[in-house]
A and B are shown apart, each in its own frame.
Chain A
């Protein structure tokens, strides 16, 4: 069912089971549909197609993969129209991804708001989205850049998954999060056993420990007010221009961001038809907002950085009621020159502390 509201609330505990080996679960999934699992490359994870016939080491990723989930739902470049015939989105086969984290699930919630908006549903996104089977997993040993707890996230899935896997000292706990997930568990009931209470307690302890770790890592970045208020009261700040001196406009932050969804449409001439393509774009690009006559409201880099943050925490929040940032920290890892979204926000926060109260609107 589209609309993307999973019909089962996590609190209902419709099914918590356990399984001894991860490969047993993943093989059962891969027997039915195409499955992507984390693959370690250097210090990071990306996703690769899972092949149960090959003995490849199975990674239970401790943190989110480097690959943003949007890559699967809203690819870098795709054909969206052919002229003058019409084009239907390609049939998408059901597929599953194992190893998504809470931040990934929350980024899907954000993309859903944009691309499945009632009046203007994007049929290409919709096709892929409804075929995705999500097997999320708990985080452990978080990265330095992980900062989900600052932005309302947790190191374990809260909602938006079909199945969630938690690693314990004795096998894995599998939690059902949707009807699709329940159907799967019921169909493969012989693989699962009831989850012992002791393991559930262990799981919750591990979760709390990881959460505490992230909170401690990020305590120095905590703000005095909600992030949208900090930004809205800082629109005249020089911090954006000062921070922009570190930026080389590589746009890596927007490409790797799982919630950034700007794109541009361009037309191409193929051998025997004309095509309209949709491709990722970046609001950090100089000419991004320029019009044909040459006018450009954000010629200055600092203004583009400000716009990006305002979009994430103020404009998007106003429109959809949630922030457009999940605190995954990918942009922090990607920025070789050391711009850190947490530091920028903290600097604005410090600046506001020194401002006379009257100037700071509540």
Chain B
């Protein structure tokens, strides 16, 4: 008898962090060992209410607990925001392919992120800096609507900036009185001079419109479609390539993704919709 694919593992919420007006992070402890690779996703169940896919924002190296950042955006996520510390939720997975880190070795990693897209990026970033000597450099170009909309503020505004080998720039669409940085969409802080394109991989994660324009920007810089890694957000339901909801052309995002190179999916219609 095979394992029941549909059965969530009970997990306790041990901490809740308010990241921004619409985003909260949940630190959960699964009751069974739960390993994942950075970039893979999980299905979270609020028992009796609903299920939705999320990419953990914590490092896979932390095998005791896992962090998941949830933006209030639909029915299930709104209800998930009502979960409280101590509550039990369900987790299934992990599913799909993570970031192919071996392909990044010896290269600059150029990460463009926006909004809640920083969640998968945080997991990737923590994984990369654990072995930072493997990479030429890590370039981060992060954006948010307003300074208050940045998640992981302490890290993004603070200690991540100071790590040797990391080049980080931030931008907001709309500044407040205290903001001293760049104002504009994330592509306004991406410069061709930042990197040696021939020896760089680009990683993009964020809202669809941002991913579209960041991808176009990278192409303009001379990146080949196969050098651009996208973390695709689709309506993943089962998680293992059967239910059909997340299909982009022949690919099941849940099984063949969620990380794709632009090369793989560029010819399919409406990938950004």
Contact = CB atoms under 8 A, between A and B. Distances in A.
Interface stretch (B45-53, B98-106, B178-186): B45-53
Nearest to A308: B244
Contacts of B3: 123
Interface string B74-92: 1111000000000010100
Interface in B216-243: 233-235, 237-238, 240-243
A22 to B, nearest CB: 37
B165 interface: no
B28 to A, nearest CB: 14
A276 B45 contact: yes
A86 B246 CA distance: 26
B131 interface: no
B273 A83 contact: no
Contacts, number: 135
Contacts of B250: 314-315, 318-319
Interface string B37-59: 00000000111111110000000
B7 A86 contact: yes
Contacts of B241: 117, 120
Nearest to A318: B250
Q: What interface size band does chain B fall in?
A: 35 or more
B4 A86 contact: yes
Nearest to B50: A267
Contact of A290 (B4, B235, B244): B235
A121 B233 CA distance: 25
B200 to A, nearest CB: 28
A265 B48 contact: no
B243 A265 contact: yes
A342 interface: no
Given A292-B73, A315-B250, A264 B245 contact: yes
Given A120-B240, A122-B5, A295-B208, A267 B49 contact: yes
B2 A115 contact: no
A321 interface: no
Interface residues of A, number: 53
Given A265-B243, A266-B50, A297-B269, A289 B238 contact: no
B90 A315 contact: no
Identify the interface centre among A89, A119, A276: most chain B CB within 10 Å of its CB. Answer: A276
B49 A265 contact: no
A114 B242 contact: yes
A275 B51 CA distance: 12
Contact of A123 (B4, B73, B233): B4
A268 interface: yes
Interface string B242-273: 11111111100000000000000000011111
A114 B243 CA distance: 10
A296 interface: yes
Contacts of A296: 273
B249 A281 contact: no
Nearest to B255: A120
Interface string A236-271: 000000000000000000000000011111111110
B213 interface: no
Shortest Cβ-Cβ A-B pairs, 3 listed: A292-B74, A269-B48, A274-B47
13 contacts: A88-B1, A263-B237, A264-B237, A276-B45, A278-B6, A281-B243, A288-B245, A295-B208, A296-B273, A297-B234, A297-B271, A315-B250, A318-B250
Given A122-B242, A275-B48, 9 more contacts: A80-B7, A81-B8, A264-B237, A267-B46, A276-B45, A292-B52, A292-B75, A293-B233, A295-B273
